[in-house]
Chains A and B, each alone.
Chain A
Amino acid sequence: MSHLSLTDADREAMLAAVGVASVEELFRDIPEGVRFGRDLDIDPALSEPEIVAHLTELAERNVDTGKELSFLGGGIYDHYVPAVVDAVLARGEFLTAYTPYQPEMSQGVLQAIFEYQTAICELTGMDVSNASGYDGTTVAADACFVAKHATGRSKVVLCETVHPQVRQVVKTYAPGFGLEVVEVAHDGGVTDPDELGKASADAACVIFQQPNFFGCLEPAPDLASAANEAGALPVAHVDLVSLGVLEPPGAYGCALAIGEGQGAGNFQSYGGPHYGFLAARSDLVRRMPGRIVGETTDLEGERGYVLTLQTREQHIRREKATSNITTNQTLLALAGLVHLSWLGPQGLREQGETCMALGEYAKERLGLPLVFPDRTTFKEFAVHVGRSATDVIRDARAQGVHPGYALGRDYPGLDDAVLVAVTEKRTPEDIDRLAEVLGEVAR
């Protein structure tokens, strides 16, 4: 067994040192009644080349974005991940390290997280970021937990234009938190600030998404004001890729900025692992869930980094912790940092501009009725395809093109709508091809 380093001679010497005759004896404290008396009934062992062959066979039966021209989005995007990300993540000192509880052994990870925290604060305009949450859905539940304890209120308001899975996860967590969840319906693809204000009267927080699930730009500053006026914490669920061109939540009065980081530095990977980000106003720092890295000095006055404010966390505060989170998504957040550093501020702005320009080109070339005309969109938009969206998707895929996500799965009355995502990896020629195929299969 190549993973094991013990030889038979080693085992003999070790058993003698322990003072037992066999490995079996080491398990003598396990009561007879709970001993497992047979071999595990699982698939047979494979050698390394057989593992590669088997997994390759499984992988080839998936239609990935290399095999199909894809316009799928909906929170996970086919953005370009630069080669430097692969190179950095392959370093064993990052890949195989544990959480940096022993800071003198972990200055690499700690400094990288500090740099990541800085990047998230810069992009979102907030004062403090944590070291990552699980994904873009669970950070919304985290934000509700923060808001409940900060305001003492027990209701949270979600806009209907927030990602359906984000809303579903918040609703799953809510009973345990003692929270009531209220949704505000969209109005022509965005949220009406007055409607939001009315619903937020006794809310702990309001969560809106920018750009929203339909790809539309919400009147975010007005939504934040409506929440603030009602005494609810405004929480903006944002796309890092958009923050080179869109005003950040910190600039328009939000208390928390959260989101799914995948588009900045991670491959799609059938949904994970990715990283959720959560950043807050400075007055909320002691309520923040997750790890936070801080700067300090050592015995000789040299600068260094440590986990700080750990008394918020489960390993100290236990049942009064701000969250139970322990393992987070550090490696994926590190990928995000590398990616954002690779882009730089100009690169991020240009990427955003390119996505918007390609999106506009796609709207014109497709010539299909927009579900929400006259809305500015970022990198996704919804079109009517004239008949069942799932049928259109099936027929388009038969020609090697995946036109996007069937919105009817999550929004009643939109069974003929497809959400088309256009990233900088799609070319004008790709869009022409999409237009050609939809021209045939849509009505």
Chain B
Amino acid sequence: MKLIYEKSKAGRRAGSLPRYDLPNVEVPEDLRRTAAPRLPEISEPELVRHFTALADRNFGVDTGFYPLGSCTMKHNPRVNERVVNLPGFRDLHPYQEEDGAQGALELMWRLQEILAEVCGLHAVSLQPAAGSQGELTGLMLMRAYFADRGEADERRVVITADTAHGTNPASVAMAGYELQKVETDDRGNLDLDDLRAKVDGRTAGLMLTNPSTLGLFDEHITEVSEIFHDAGALLYYDGANLNAVCGISRPGDMGFDIVHINLHKTFSQPHGGGGPGGGPIAVRDMLEPFLPVPAVVRDGDAFRLDHDRPKSIGKVRGFGGPFGVFVRSYAYIRAYGPALREMSEAAVLNANYLLARLKDVYDLPFDRLCMHEFVLSASNLKREHGVTALDVAKRLMDHGFHPPTIYFPLIVPEALMIEPTETEAKETLDEFVEAMRAIAAEAATDPQTIKDAPHRRPVRRLDEVKAAKRAVVKFGFEEHPDLAPVKSEAGGEAIEAAKGA
């Protein structure tokens, strides 16, 4: 398919803006643009066709089953799109005076209250733009808290699980902490002996997801929380897996002091091909003074932005955060009301159903009931037929499914992490089971077809090695021929390097 730049034709233009009969203002010569940027010159019909063609080459939750573990690819209700586009939200400037933004501030305040209740904690900031920014913010809160108590120099270490999402150690490094890892035991819980050996007066805190990335609820979470609190440390909850326990178990009650929530996972903000998201944080009361500024507060019947927070860590993102994301999540939660637990119950039922029907054909690292997701291993297929988790993933595409997460968590070789979410129908789950079983059977009879998959997507398997070795990250225009210009009626240039991997 052609790039939009390859469809560009001098003199074409989709846009029109008003022009006024006013004198032109000259930009000083040394600041004036000399060479025009090579943006596409395209008409509106061609523009629409181009992006429609791109959409046709993409697969979303709207298209089909998307069981990516720890991503919570649930259906995104369309009413949320209608309300986010209300002019009172869409066309509201963030520097509008508070009396002109009461509806927005009230929505934010109500969402804060809901998230505090869901987490079992006391105060919330909606400011962080995504889960990993929420993590970094949480770690900054930890540092501010200990600095306030005169313990900053001692408390240098944050402990994460060996099953942790990669953002956890990256956030720890960005926050200037040292990282320590704790092991997972045979049941998929944190190894308490390993933990006790590692927690001491140098520990600032724990970063943990519960249920873990194995989809397992830590049966000793109460002991874990005691170990850290007894050492004077804090507990941070990575909310990536919150979809499993809403209204059923609250992170604050488990002992966590800081929680980030992924609005784009649990609360249906559409993933948008990679973003936007929202990563609000909820904290126990002793941490409230350190939250980012401004805080959204209620003052009688009115709602205000409170900038007077002398102990605040500062600001992690512009304005109050990604407001459009708040609108969608608030509308989503209002559709459930206090019955939000039904969401988690269905998510956990769907996952356990898939697990029950697949554990006899794939290796099962942990034989327990799962929460909202579970991990299988394709090690048996690799051992017996040379078919890897990657191959299984690519072959699932031919069956019309997006693959699950692969090669994560790191402690399970050939991992397949599957999270169906609560919005899937039983029929879809049954079709997925059939496809997974068919692939396992095909591995024995015709592994090569699996290794050459996908066969039915707009492209065949792509060469990621080539892309990393010689990174071509923008269109070359006339200067550099592209790797394989599209064979077109006009007759593209023949580039020797293009053919083959």
Do A and B interact with each other, yes or no?
Answer: yes
Given known contacts A45-B337, A62-B88, A97 and B17 CB-to-CB distance under 8 angstroms? no
How near does chain A come to B421, taking the closest CB pair, in angstroms?
10
Residues of A within 8 A of B19 (CB): 350, 354
Decide yes or no whether B18 CB sits under 8 A from chain A.
yes
Q: Mark A93-118, 1 if CB is under 8 A from B, else 0.
A: 11111111011111111011111011
Q: A347 vs B17: C-alpha distance in the bound complex, in angstroms?
A: 8
Q: A189 vs B192: C-alpha distance in the bound complex, in angstroms?
A: 60
Given known contacts A4-B422, A104-B457, A175-B143, A297 and B498 CB-to-CB distance under 8 angstroms? yes
Q: A357 vs B23: C-alpha distance in the bound complex, in angstroms?
A: 6
Given known contacts A17-B356, A65-B93, A108-B58, A34 and B36 CB-to-CB distance under 8 angstroms? no
Which of B41-49, B194-202, B379-387, B436-444 participates in binding chain A? B41-49
Q: A15 vs B402: C-alpha distance in the bound complex, in angstroms?
A: 25
* CB <8 Å contact, A84 and B14: yes
Decide yes or no whether B348 CB sits under 8 A from chain A.
yes
| Cβ-closest chain A residue relative to B12 | A344
* CB <8 Å contact, A72 and B20: no
Given known contacts A39-B338, A271-B320, A319-B179, A93 and B139 CB-to-CB distance under 8 angstroms? no
B96's partner among A52, A136, A402 (CB-CB below 8 A) is: A402
Given known contacts A4-B346, A41-B338, A270 and B101 CB-to-CB distance under 8 angstroms? yes
Residues of A within 8 A of B491 (CB): none
How near does chain B come to A271, taking the closest CB pair, in angstroms?
3
Q: A30 vs B320: C-alpha distance in the bound complex, in angstroms?
A: 35
Q: Mark A15-34, 1 if CB is under 8 A from B, else 0.
A: 10111100100111111011
Pick the most buried of A29, A285, A309: most chain B CB atoms within 10 A of its CB: A29
* CB <8 Å contact, A6 and B129: no
Q: A361 vs B319: C-alpha distance in the bound complex, in angstroms?
A: 30
* CB <8 Å contact, B28 and A217: yes
How near does chain B come to A408, taking the closest CB pair, in angstroms?
13
Q: A358 vs B322: C-alpha distance in the bound complex, in angstroms?
A: 31
Q: A338 vs B275: C-alpha distance in the bound complex, in angstroms?
A: 16
Decide yes or no whether B81 CB sits under 8 A from chain A.
yes
Q: Mark A320-337, 1 if CB is under 8 A from B, else 0.
A: 110111111111101000
B315's partner among A7, A169, A353, A427 (CB-CB below 8 A) is: A169
Decide yes or no whether B174 CB sits under 8 A from chain A.
yes
* CB <8 Å contact, B314 and A5: no
Decide yes or no whether B219 CB sits under 8 A from chain A.
yes
Q: A287 vs B247: C-alpha distance in the bound complex, in angstroms?
A: 42
A45's partner among B91, B338, B426 (CB-CB below 8 A) is: B338
Decide yes or no whether A214 CB sits under 8 A from chain B.
no
* CB <8 Å contact, B368 and A29: yes
Residues of A within 8 A of B219 (CB): 29, 31
Q: Mark A159-189, 1 if CB is under 8 A from B, else 0.
A: 0000001101101110111100000000000
* CB <8 Å contact, B320 and A295: no
* CB <8 Å contact, B346 and A6: yes
* CB <8 Å contact, B132 and A26: no
Q: A39 vs B339: C-alpha distance in the bound complex, in angstroms?
A: 7
* CB <8 Å contact, A272 and B461: no
Q: A298 vs B315: C-alpha distance in the bound complex, in angstroms?
A: 44
Residues of B within 8 A of A88 (CB): 48, 51, 55
Residues of B within 8 A of A402 (CB): 96
* CB <8 Å contact, B166 and A318: yes
Given known contacts A40-B117, A114-B3, A295-B467, A51 and B83 CB-to-CB distance under 8 angstroms? yes
Decide yes or no whether B298 CB sits under 8 A from chain A.
no
Residues of B within 8 A of A119 (CB): 37, 39
* CB <8 Å contact, A329 and B54: no
Residues of B within 8 A of A11 (CB): 349
Residues of B within 8 A of A314 (CB): 132, 166-167, 169-170
Which of A123-131, A197-205, A434-442 participates in binding chain B? A123-131
How near does chain B come to A68, taking the closest CB pair, in angstroms?
7
Q: Mark A214-251, 1 if CB is under 8 A from B, else 0.
A: 00010111000000000000000000000111111001
B485's partner among A76, A173, A245, A303 (CB-CB below 8 A) is: A303
| Cβ-closest chain A residue relative to B346 | A4
A272's partner among B52, B129, B216, B356 (CB-CB below 8 A) is: B129
* CB <8 Å contact, B461 and A243: no
Q: Mark B329-357, 1 if CB is under 8 A from A, else 0.
A: 01101111111111101101110110111
Decide yes or no whether A254 CB sits under 8 A from chain B.
no
Q: A52 vs B77: C-alpha distance in the bound complex, in angstroms?
A: 13
Pick the most buried of B56, B313, B319, B482: most chain A CB atoms within 10 A of its CB: B319
* CB <8 Å contact, B172 and A82: no
| Cβ-closest chain A residue relative to B35 | A251
* CB <8 Å contact, B277 and A327: yes
Q: A397 vs B101: C-alpha distance in the bound complex, in angstroms?
A: 13
* CB <8 Å contact, B462 and A96: no
Decide yes or no whether B79 CB sits under 8 A from chain A.
yes
How near does chain B come to A3, taking the closest CB pair, in angstroms?
5
Q: Mark B161-178, 1 if CB is under 8 A from A, else 0.
A: 000001101111111100
Q: Mark A126-155, 1 if CB is under 8 A from B, else 0.
A: 011101101111100000010000000000
Q: A109 vs B56: C-alpha distance in the bound complex, in angstroms?
A: 10
* CB <8 Å contact, A107 and B459: yes
Decide yes or no whether A35 CB sits under 8 A from chain B.
yes
Interface residues of A in 53-78 (CB under 8 A from B): 54-66, 68, 70, 72, 74-76, 78
Residues of B within 8 A of A134 (CB): 129-130, 133, 317
Q: Mark B79-104, 1 if CB is under 8 A from A, else 0.
A: 10111111111111111110011111
How near does chain A come to B9, taking the closest CB pair, in angstroms?
11
Which of B105-113, B228-236, B280-288 participates in binding chain A? B105-113
Given known contacts A17-B357, A93-B59, A299-B452, A98 and B89 CB-to-CB distance under 8 angstroms? no
* CB <8 Å contact, A346 and B13: yes
Residues of A within 8 A of B58 (CB): 93-94, 97, 105-109
A51's partner among B48, B331, B425, B500 (CB-CB below 8 A) is: B331
Decide yes or no whether A387 CB sits under 8 A from chain B.
no
Decide yes or no whether A424 CB sits under 8 A from chain B.
yes
Q: A318 vs B264: C-alpha distance in the bound complex, in angstroms?
A: 22
* CB <8 Å contact, A270 and B247: no
Q: A316 vs B135: C-alpha distance in the bound complex, in angstroms?
A: 18
Given known contacts A14-B349, A84-B47, A111 and B170 CB-to-CB distance under 8 angstroms? no
* CB <8 Å contact, B94 and A358: no
Decide yes or no whether B32 CB sits under 8 A from chain A.
yes
Q: A420 vs B86: C-alpha distance in the bound complex, in angstroms?
A: 26
How near does chain A come to B53, taking the closest CB pair, in angstroms?
8
* CB <8 Å contact, B14 and A344: yes
* CB <8 Å contact, A123 and B426: no
Decide yes or no whether A399 CB sits under 8 A from chain B.
no
Known A-B contacts: A27-B248, A30-B249. Give 16 more (CB < 8 A). Answer: A2-B335, A17-B356, A31-B222, A34-B249, A96-B63, A246-B32, A270-B96, A270-B104, A272-B322, A273-B278, A319-B169, A319-B170, A320-B173, A332-B272, A341-B40, A360-B22
List the 6 closest pairs (A to B, CB-CB), nearest first. Answer: A45-B337, A59-B88, A271-B319, A331-B272, A108-B58, A92-B62
29 A-B contact pairs sorted by A residue (CB < 8 Å): A17-B357, A30-B217, A31-B221, A36-B247, A43-B337, A58-B103, A64-B92, A95-B272, A96-B271, A98-B271, A99-B273, A104-B459, A117-B473, A128-B471, A176-B140, A221-B30, A267-B91, A271-B320, A272-B317, A272-B321, A273-B325, A309-B468, A326-B166, A329-B276, A341-B40, A342-B47, A354-B19, A356-B27, A357-B22
